[in-house]
């Protein structure tokens, strides 16, 4: 029996894409290495129907689906009832339940970790167990509209794992280099380790760059095709292009501002009463992607091309009074918006459009046309 109605009632959120229906039944699933703690809650009564633990395996998930199917038939007389699973992303531990749910036609929704944690703490702060988290995730899913939990392609998964390994290696190199500067007697001992780690980083960079080259043996992958387009942007090499493209493909941001906010390059203002608000970056979301785009902005300053639009943008921001870091953040924000535009519109990099403001230019054009029309209209003419 299908657990999805044929004509669901959908709900939309302003400035976002259309999200799934408001499900009357929600199953919260807390994922651990060996176990899935599940709880079924009904929207109308806010009542928990049952709680059960199953193994985090194909057999355990089949047991969960069997109980869901039986309960839907018993409670609603066999009519298709929209029920969904709510799962927090936990890396490879949550991969099996997501893929199995997709194969069985059961909607599965993504619970953003930070928001889910805040919700769980607000409803139950005195205890934390897997069963309680499963129940809390069910109520969390009923309290707001969540987006579907998308299954990553093998190419995206491979690139993300390589980028994760690269991040760890880079962090280790930075730590060892700091120790080398501060510990002169141990500097010689740290040199070999730093050299090996840097060689591993270069090997990962080479592997990512090779993945972006289309060959007969490796057909084009949509995510990698987008990365190849982004690689043409000044300051963005294969590593940054791959990181940005995979994130844009997996998250499906509906606007450049949404992508900028996701990586924490948006501006936050804090103001209360007579206190004058201070502006600064929110620094929320993907810190590694924010760091990579900031490095891309720095790379543009080293470019020898005097017509580089990002160097021009940096100078403009400095002329406004921004310091070096603030101007670089503005360039990084522009890079993020440009990457979103290239990916979303499936276009190529055009340096002439970097410093333009299409919306402002459109308004100015309309205003100019209206002014011209008024001037051409004979005096005394009644509109």
Q: How far apart are CA 204 and CA 210, in angstroms?
A: 10
pLDDT tens, residue by residue, 271-315 = 766 666 667 788 888 888 999 999 999 999 988 888 899 999 999
Pick 123 or 335 by higher pLDDT: 335
**Cα radius of gyration (the chain):** 26
Question: What totals of helices (H) and strands (E) does the chain contain, helices first?
Answer: 13, 9
Contact in structure between 135 and 51 (CB atoms under 8 Å): yes
Tokens standing for residue 363: 């308004």
With a CB cutoff of 8 Å and minimum separation 6, the contacts of 365 are none
The pTM of this model reads: 0.70
pLDDT tens, residue by residue, 306-329 = 889 999 999 999 999 999 999 999
Pick 356 or 162 by higher pLDDT: 162
Contact in structure between 23 and 84 (CB atoms under 8 Å): yes
Q: Considering all CA atoms of the chain, what is the largest pairwise distance in Å, rounded to the nearest integer? A: 91
């Amino acid at each position: 029996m299908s657990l999805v109605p044929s004509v669901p009632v959908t709900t939309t959120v302003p400035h976002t894409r259309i999200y799934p229906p408001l499900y009357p039944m929600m199953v919260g699933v807390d994922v651990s290495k060996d176990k899935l703690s599940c709880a079924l809650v009904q929207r109308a009564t806010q009542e928990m129907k049952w709680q059960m633990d199953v193994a985090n395996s194909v057999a355990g998930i089949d047991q969960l689906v069997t109980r869901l199917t039986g309960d839907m038939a018993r409670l609603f007389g066999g009519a298709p009832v929209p029920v969904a699973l709510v799962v927090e992303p936990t890396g490879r531990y949550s991969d099996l339940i997501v893929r199995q749910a997709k194969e069985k036609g059961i909607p599965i929704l993504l619970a953003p970790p930070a928001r889910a944690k805040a919700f769980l703490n607000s409803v139950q702060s005195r205890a934390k167990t897997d069963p309680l988290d499963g129940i809390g995730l069910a109520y969390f899913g009923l309290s707001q509209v969540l987006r579907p939990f998308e299954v990553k392609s093998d190419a995206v998964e491979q690139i993300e794992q390589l980028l994760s390994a690269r991040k760890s290696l880079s962090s280790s190199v930075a730590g060892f280099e700091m120790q080398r500067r501060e510990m002169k007697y141990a500097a010689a001992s740290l040199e070999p380790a730093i050299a090996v780690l840097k060689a591993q980083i270069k090997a990962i960079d080479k592997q990512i760059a090779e993945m972006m080259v289309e060959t007969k043996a490796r057909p084009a992958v949509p995510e990698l095709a987008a990365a190849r387009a982004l690689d043409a942007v000044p300051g963005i090499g294969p590593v940054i292009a791959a990181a940005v493209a995979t994130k844009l493909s997996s998250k499906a941001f509906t606007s450049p501002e949404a992508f900028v906010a996701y990586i924490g390059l948006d501006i936050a203002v804090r103001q209360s009463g007579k206190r004058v608000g201070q502006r600064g970056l929110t620094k929320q979301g993907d810190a590694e992607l924010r760091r990579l785009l900031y490095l891309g902005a720095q790379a543009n300053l080293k470019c020898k091309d005097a017509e580089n639009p990002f160097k021009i943008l940096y100078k403009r921001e400095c002329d406004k009074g921004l310091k070096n870091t603030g101007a670089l953040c503005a360039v990084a924000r522009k890079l993020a918006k440009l990457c979103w535009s290239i990916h979303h519109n499936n276009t190529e990099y055009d340096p002439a459009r970097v410093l333009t403001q299409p919306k402002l230019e459109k308004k100015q054009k309309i205003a100019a046309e209206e002014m011209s029309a008024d001037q051409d209209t004979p005096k005394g003419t009644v509109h």
